[in-house]
Structure 1
Amino acid sequence: MTQKFIKPHCPWTNGKVERLNRTLAAEWAYARVYASNTDRAIALPTWLNYYNLDRAHLGIDGTTPIDRINNGRGQYI
């Protein structure tokens, strides 16, 4: 993997990351009121597990990311 930089002030050239940021904001960061930023941070691992293991993604035909990269949640392909 190599790090690549986009042109400043051109978020459309980085669409996948921008879409993930939008999903994070809508479904985790601002989906409910947290008592503190610490509470929000504590909730992140649970949300990431849901996002990667249980949430259907339309961009990959309604499957979950984990099902997309492995065979039956056990054997990686």
Structure 2
Amino acid sequence: MAQFLGGGVAAHVGDEPRTIDLNQHHQILELVVAGDGAGAAGLARTHIANSLTASVTGALEERENVQPVTLDEIA
């Protein structure tokens, strides 16, 4: 289940995805401090791609849970 955070960003409920994100942030920082720009850039790209994938997946899951509304229900 996804929780929408605004701005098109969704996070899956629970601690594991947040822990993974936090660990990746620390790894990116460590790579920058170590002077490994290519490694930091690669991990940043992976991190962003994973975040976008999670957002899209969450949006699709949310959309599947929405029941269609008929015009008769609106009137």
Normalising by structure 1, we get a TM-score of 0.33
Q: Which has the higher helix share?
A: 2
Q: Which has the higher strand share?
A: 2
Q: Which of the pair has the greater relative contact order for Cα pairs under 8 Å at 6+ separation?
A: 2
